[in-house]
Amino acid sequence: MDEKLVKIAQFADYIEAAMALQVLADYGIKAVVTGQNASNIYPIPAVEGPELQVLQSQAEQARQILESHKQQETLEDDNDSEEPEDNNSFLMDQEQ
The model's pTM: 0.69
First to last CA, the chain: 76
Question: For the chain (length 96 residues), average pLDDT per consecutive 10?
Answer: 90 91 96 76 66 96 95 79 56 52
Note the pLDDT of residue 74: 80
Q: What Cα–Cα distance (Å) separates residue 8 from each residue in 5, 51, 60, 81?
A: 9, 8, 8, 30
| Cα 9 → chain centroid | 10
Note the pLDDT of residue 86: 56
Note the pLDDT of residue 90: 47
d(CA 89, CA 66): 42
Note the pLDDT of residue 43: 60
Note the pLDDT of residue 35: 83
